[in-house]
Amino acid sequence: MNKQHHTLLRGLQDLYENKLLTDVVLCADTEEFRCHRSVLAASSPYFRAMFTANVREQEEARVQIHEVDAPTMKLVIEYIYTASVAIDSNNAQNIFIVANMMQLLHLVDLSADFMKSQLCSSNAVEIFNFASFYSCDKLRKAARQFILENFREVLGTEGFTGFDITDLESVLSEDYLGVELEEHVYSAVIKWVEFDKENRCQHLKKLLKHIRLGLVQSDFISVMKTNSLLSDNSRIVRQLENFNSHPGLVLNSEAAKKGDMKYSFFSTSMSPRLGMLKRTMLVFAGGANNSEERSLTCFDPSTNNNYYGIKQHSSFDFKHKIDHHRVISLDSKLYFIGGVLYEEYHFEPTASALDAVFQYIEKDQCWIRRAHMLTPRCAFSALSHCGRIYVMGGKTTYPRGGPLFTAECYDADSDQWLPLAPMPLGLYHHASTVYQDSIFVFGGIEEDEQHVNTVFQYSISANSWTFVETMMAHLRAEFSAVTYKDRIYLVGGANKTENVTAVEIFNPKSRRWQIGADFPEDRKAMSAVLIGDCIYVCGGVKYIGARGQRRSRMVESRDLYKYNLVTNDWSRQVKLVQYANIQTCTACVLNTKFLNESDFISSN
């Protein structure tokens, strides 16, 4: 139906509700619906054939609609007359089936889009099978893509066993399968077969051919041999034993191509699955080619490789550079929040902060807009916790203007920002981190431009703030707070008189402080992030001493230091992180399949 037709049908709503249109009565189950033949015929080829072709229903005053339940029929008829429908998880499939039967294509799309929006690990296979049965290619592709990307989670649900053999083979053969280990593919085969051994054992050999034995860890081969489904076949056991004796054997050799292959029960492919290309990265973002774009660059601390999704602008130090923003990782998704344009606040007395929020789409290498913040902010603190992003304080204008008391949180599921209880003190360039059900806010700069050493605690469940009586040993701003186990580490920053190299460690239970190892160099404005048992600190601003007639000057460093929290010591990992941005950094698991790798490998 087009928009004009929808408008016409909306005009008939009063007539429908007052039951003034009585050309035909449609019967579904035991309920009757009084309708107008011309409206039905104009809306649906199904009804057009019924009321205009030479069939029995053309003249009947009462028409029985078979295999349609009354509640669904009511919703469909209301849609025909009002162009609106309330689709939910309980009726979406029924509405789709009836709309498909009646060839109400727009309603088919609406119900398919709803089911697509509800895809999750527990229902993905069911929706995939439903879409396959009704030949809904759009929904089928979406469900299959979800299954591939979230295969491990789908594998852990009861619905996984609902695959038929053809579709399961198609999924297991994919390079784009989201598994970190090939052992998960083996587990999928075993789980599916064991669900109905009597009927599915005949497919075991077909499925084994999709296990890439060369990607299986050698010590797991022994586990495979003990499974009764495999151990009952002496040829399979012998092949596993031979492979275990020669783990370095190249499976896709010339012998394999010719068919002279000892490992014919298993796949000869050595191509890694998509999930095997995931890495925990240090992620940076800032300005790009225009004010609506954001760069996305990253560094792999396990390999020292540099990557980019979206390159920085060639004149990154000025054009479209964004400062005092935050990049936050929430459930493996990246969000770019707020900030202020560099060229505006450097060349004008003050500049307005941004309220823009972007989410990074990894596969497409692009940022998309999400709901903007309730208040524009820069120089604020932010963190993620339990499906939400929390932002606190900052400024609406920079550098002039007072700090904000306000706080708000973003719910990713609803794409909505919600106000929180205001902070007890307006702050900017402060630091925050979460511990259990509380957010702790440290230091920063208050309204009279004084650095503070205060600590505030926000209860997430109670939506209330309290003042923590014990204070930091140092006044500091532009620093980082990192939670590790039952301690909070404060790293970097500066005050009006000095850069703070001391690492302060706060115990949120006892409210006591201790001192860690000092940062090795005198600098400020470093970005810090936790990965494993280490805090990585990137760059910072430091002074280069005077030489000859040259004065001392402030320069930005982009090296990388690592603070080992187990041994309590610092070490420099690399001299230069190629695409670093010291303003903000976060840790996120990204897939190198969707990143561009630089030829530059960072070295110490």
pLDDT digits 0-9 by tens, 270-326: 999 999 999 999 999 988 777 788 999 999 999 999 999 998 876 655 568 899 999
pLDDT classification of 48: cutoffs 50, 70, 90: confident
In a domain, residue 281? The reply is yes
Q: Tell me the CATH number at 377.
A: 2.120.10.80
Q: How many domains does the chain have?
A: 2
- Going by C-alpha positions, the residue among 289, 331, 322 that lies closest to residue 308 is 289
Give the whole-angstrom CA distance, residue 283 versus residue 244.
Answer: 39
What does the pLDDT read at residue 548? 53
Q: Spell 359-388 as b/e; 16+ CB within 10 A means b.
A: bbebeeeebeebeebbbbbbbbbbbbbeee
Please give the residue that has the higher pLDDT: either 408 or 549.
Answer: 408
Spatial CA neighbour of 373 closest among 325, 434, 427, 429: 325
> Mean of the pLDDT values across residues 184-189?
97
pLDDT at 546 over 80: no
Q: What is the pLDDT of residues 479-499, one digit of tens each?
A: 999 999 999 999 999 999 999
Which of 70, 96, 118 marks a domain boundary?
A: 118
pLDDT confidence of residue 439: 98
pLDDT confidence of residue 233:
87
Under DSSP, is residue 520 helix (H, G, I), strand (E, B) or coil?
Answer: coil
Per-residue three-class SS string for 429-478: CCEEEEECCEEEEECCECCCCCECCCEEEEECCCCEEEEECCCCCCCCEC
pLDDT of residue 1: 46
In the prediction, which pLDDT does 549 show? Answer: 54
**What percent of the chain lies above the pLDDT cut of 70?**
90
Write out pLDDT tens, residues 187-206. Answer: 999 999 999 999 999 999 99
- Of 600, 586, 599, nearest in space to 298 by CA: 586
Buried residues in 215-228 as b, exposed as e (16+ CB within 10 A): bbeeeebeebeeee
Which of the pair, 264 or 539, is modelled with greater confidence?
539
CATH number at residue 75: 3.30.710.10
398 lies in a domain? yes
Please give the model's pTM, rounded to 2 decimal places: 0.81
Residue 7 has pLDDT above 50, yes or no: no
Q: How confident is the model at residue 390 (pLDDT cuts 50, 70, 90)?
A: very high
pLDDT band at 247 (very low <50, low <70, confident <90, very high): low
Q: Smallest Cα–Cα separation from 340: which of 406, 291, 274?
A: 291
Which residue among 75, 90, 118 closes a domain? Answer: 118
User: What integer pLDDT is reported at residue 21 of this predicted model?
Assistant: 52
Q: Residue 233 domain-assigned?
A: no
Q: Give the closest residue to 93 by CA, choosing from 133, 151, 147, 48.
A: 133
Quick check: is 134 in a domain? no
Q: Determine which of 92-101, 412-421, 537-546 has the lowest per-residue pLDDT on average.
A: 537-546
**Backbone φ, ψ for residue 256 (5° rounding):** -65, -40
Identify the residue with better confidence: 174 or 219: 174
Final residue of a domain: which of 76, 93, 118?
118
What average pLDDT is seen over the chain? 89
Would 389 be classed as within a structural domain? Answer: yes
Q: What single-letter amino acid sits at 522?
A: D
pLDDT tens for each residue of 343-387 = 888 888 899 999 999 999 999 999 999 999 999 999 999 999 999
Under 8 Å between Cβ of 183 and 216:
yes
Q: Which amino acid is at 541?
A: V
Q: Which range of residues forms the domain containing residue 12?
A: 3-118
Name residues whose C-beta falls within 8 Å of residue 578's C-beta, 6 or more positions apart in sequence: 297, 299, 306, 558, 598, 600, 602
566: pLDDT strictly greater than 90: yes
Ranking 52-61, 94-103, 280-289, 491-500 by mean pLDDT, the lowest is 52-61
Domain assignment present for residue 589? The answer is: yes
Alpha-helix residue ranges (DSSP H) falling in 137-233: 137-149, 151-155, 165-172, 183-195, 197-200, 204-208, 218-226, 228-231
Residue 174 in domain: no
Flag whether 12 is in a domain: yes
Q: How many residues does the chain have?
A: 604
3-state secondary structure of 334: strand
The pLDDT score that the predictor gives to residue 595 is 96
One-letter amino acid identity for 413?
A: D
